[in-house]
Structure formats: structure tokens, C-alpha cells
Structure 1
Amino acid sequence: MGIKIGCCGFPVSRKKYYGEFNVVELQNTFYDLPSIDWAENLRSEAPGDFEFTIKAWQVITHPASSPTWKKMRRKPRGDTSNYGFLKPSNENLEALRETVRVAEALKSKIIVLQTPPSLPYSRESVEWVREFFSKASDIAQGFILGWEPRGEWSKARELYDIIEEFGIVHIVDPFRATPHLGKGGVVYFRLHGIGGSEVNYRYKYTDDDLKRLHEIVSKYSVDREVYVLFNNVYMFDDAARFKRLINS
């Protein structure tokens, strides 16, 4: 169906970025959920056909012990122990509602949930993650929820069942894992560099890497919409090179 190429965040001025790509995954929505006014202004500034996907507010996926919480200017309300790890708590679900309101202002259709390696994998956590997505599907009705699990959850046997049951898009780095294709017509890749453990942000993709990526992406783009979002230090240049390769 097609391939959409972009970056995780704006690595250059927005004006320059809009001239090169037609999609971006916003990262500031993860660190400090912005206001509706900010989202509406950004939407009005961008070209009409430009697409924003958003990374969900970190309090939903990361516990208060996460170092990224220290970057938040606006602390969430309620008991901080109820946040993070996709717990089906009132606090997490309200944070998801706030994230959805920002997504609505941006006219986004995809919300990315990226869980840390520290998300426990146990019988108990399987049940609470399943309950979270059961409730999240109603809260985010009309949106596509994508989940990028890390650590033990990335290989959990229950992962595919949850993706199937709730129509979640399985987000992976295509050089590290193969996505489980659920019911939706979207494939979503986030590229974090080759080598290292789960990420290697300082990696610069070679021409051979991009040719291999093209081969991977082409398998899915026949009947699905494929998002390719680079998330490394050289993401703007690498994404632009990949775009030229796709268009050649």
C-alpha cells in the first residue's frame, strides 16, 4: 500500500523537515505531555498532508523510578506508584485519555507505547497488561495503538496473543526482530541502530544496510502501510538517503 519515512523527533528545523518528509513521531509527548494549544498550533503550522504520530506520555509505560521522570516539568496527579508498566490503574488510564486528547488535536492516528526492559514479566503482569489494553482499546477508540516491548516482554509467548486480541500494532526494529502481523493494515518500524544490545543510537546506516532495509520493507508494503521511523544520531541523513533509495 505504501511506505512512510521519517524520524523520531525533529532533528532539524521544522521548516526544513516538512520540506523533506511527510511524517514524524513526536518525542516531546513522551517526556512532558504538551498542551492542547501547543498541539493545535503545531498542526496548523504543518502542511495539510503531513502526519504526526505520537509517543505516549511516559507515565503510562515507565514507573516513577525511571530517570526520564526527572525531566518532567508537570508531574502527574495521584499516587505515583500506580503509574507506569501499562498497569490498568485509574492514573494510567487517565494519562492515556490526556494523551488521546493531544493526538486528537494533532489529527494523529497512531499512538506509540514503548515499554522499558524493566517491565516485569510474570503471570501477574500478563494479566494486568491484558486488562490495560482491554480498557485502552475503548479509551483510544478510532486510534491505532502500537506497542514496542523491550526486555523479556519482547520475547514473551503471550505477546502475540495480546496483539491479536486487542488489534495492537507490534512495533519492532526490523534489523532486530520480525513483527507479528495482527488484524490491522499497518506495519510500524523504529530503527535504533545496528549493534549494541537493544539500541545503538550512534550507528550510521550504510548503503548496504539501507538496501537490506528496502528488501525487508518491500515484503510488507504490498498490502500494508509501512512506517519507517529512524531513531539514531544520524536519523535525518539516513532517512533522507533511504527515501531516495525507495524513490529511485
Structure 2
Amino acid sequence: MAFVGTSGFVYKHWADGVFYPKKLPQREWLEFYATHFNTVELNVAFYRLPSEDVFKSWYRRTPGDFSFALKGSRFITHIKRLKDCDESLKLYFKRARLLREKLSIVLWQLPPRFKKDIPRLRNFVRALKGYRSVRHAFEFRDVTWFDAEVFELLHEADKTLDVAVCMADWPSHVVKIPETASFIYLRRHGPEGDGLYTGCYPKGELQKDARKIKKWLSEGKDVYIYFNNDANGWAVKNALDVRKLL
């Protein structure tokens, strides 16, 4: 199945008709969003773990077939850098699991200057096996991680844990990412040359993504794609365009 959405849904510059109708109160934005998309990637959990009431509210306000992708806590990825995270993972998932069956994936985005550390990655993946009811994706931002040893580790881990390498279009990432899992996770941060989180992807780029997604779907893979170019509502436009192409 294809899951197409945006990275976040609470942007004031999406109001007043850019995406959300004029006079629609912010407390109703998620419900409106969920009438257009079947998934959302939430970055808020990266900065601060929301309260139990917030997680319960997200669950209650979305349709039964809606899917949430949560960004992993920066305390785990950026401060502890994947080391000795058992207690932090317990706290994180105690809250995150309040999304119940709607929690599909947790995205673990590593810091840009965190270099490849195989023992640390192996131990962290081992710890994640306690949370195998959820899929996991790693977004590596230092080029040293784009390495056969890393890909092989995650491919082996995928036999007992759904874990993939995120395919993101960071400007510095020119390496072809192998498919290590039974699902695909794509992040679109903005078209080349326009800067991060801005710009509108041209039709040709979206058609290329759509062709790849159709291929993966034909192979029985689930595909998740999130647009993060929130400026001027481009993320919404591009996500809607991809949905139409599928």
C-alpha cells in the first residue's frame, strides 16, 4: 500500500486558504488533513515527547486506516547517540504506543556529524527488537554510514525486525540506497537548487517518484513518502500530485 503525506501538519502558513480553509480553527486541522492524506510524519516527538493526552487525541481524531510515522527522540539519536538507550526507549514507546495500530513507523534521524559506528548501531538495533510491532527507518546524514557493512547489518536485522534505510534527498547524498526491508521510506526535503524545506518539485520529478512507487507496490512492498518542503504549502501540493499519479 502507498502512504503519501507531509512532514507535519501544523504550519500557520498553510492557513487562510493555502491548504486549510479560512476560519477553520487549528484544533480541527488534523481532521481536515486526514480527509486528504492517509498518513502524516510527526517531527514534534523529536524535540519533546508529547503528553499521553496528545497521543490519545491524535488517535481519536483520525480515521481507522490512518497511519502515523513518528520521529524518534533527539535525546536518543543526538544526545545519547544510540548508546545505552533501554530506559529512554521504554519511555518513548510507552507514549507512542497510545497510537495503537495507527503507529506504523518510527524514523531515527541521526546527526549530520555522527560518523559510522557499527557496534553502536548493532546494539541499538538489538534494543529495537523489543519494539518489533512497529517498523523502523534510519535516516543517516553523514556519508560514512552509506556503506555496505551498514546496509548488510540492517538487511540481516530485517529478518526479525522491519528496519529500512530512509531514502532522503539531502544535497550531499548521492549514494544509491539499497532496499534493505519489506517497505520503502522516502523523505523529500525540497528540489535541488531551491534550498531545504522550500521549492516545488517539478512534474517530471514527481512522475519519476510515482513510477518507482508503482514498481515497489507491484513487488508487494508498502511505500511511505513524506514531503518536507513546507514553505508556501508546496509539500501539500506535491503530496497531492503524487497521490493523483498513483
Classify the TM-score, shorter chain.
Answer: 0.7 to 0.9
- Cα deviation digits, residues 165-209 of structure 1 (max 9, x gap): 221211112695544223x42111111123259x72212111111
For structure 1, the residue ranges without an aligned partner over 5 or more in a row are 64-82
Correspondence for 1:134: 126
For structure 2, the residue ranges without an aligned partner over 5 or more in a row are 15-28
Scaled by the length of structure 1, what TM-score is found?
0.80
Between Structure 1 and Structure 2, how many residues are aligned? 216
Residue 209 of structure 1 aligns to a residue whose secondary structure is: helix
The aligned runs of 1:53-92 (5 Å cut-off) are 53-63=69-79, 83=80, 85-87=81-83, 89=84, 92=85
1:231 aligns to 2:222 (yes or no): no
- Cα deviation digits, residues 101-124 of structure 1 (max 9, x gap): 222101212111011221123xxx
The aligned runs of 1:1-248 (5 Å cut-off) are 2-10=1-9, 11=11, 12=14, 13-63=29-79, 83=80, 85-87=81-83, 89=84, 92-107=85-100, 108-121=103-116, 125-138=117-130, 140-167=131-158, 168-173=163-168, 178-182=176-180, 184-195=181-192, 200-222=196-218, 223-233=220-230, 234-246=234-246
Percent of pairs with identical residues: 26
Matching residue's letter, 1:95: S
Deviation at 1:30, TM superposition (A): 0.8
Q: Which runs of 4+ in 1 moved over 4 A?
A: 174-177
Cα 1:239–1:149 shift into 2, 3 Å = same
Scaled by the length of structure 2, what TM-score is found?
0.81
- Cα deviation digits, residues 45-87 of structure 1 (max 9, x gap): 1122211111111111112xxxxxxxxxxxxxxxxxxx2x222
Output the CA distance in 2 between the equivalents of 1:191 and 1:96. 27
Output the CA distance in 2 between the equivalents of 1:181 and 1:209. 20
Residue 19 of structure 1 aligns to a residue whose secondary structure is: coil
Deviation at 1:5, TM superposition (A): 0.5
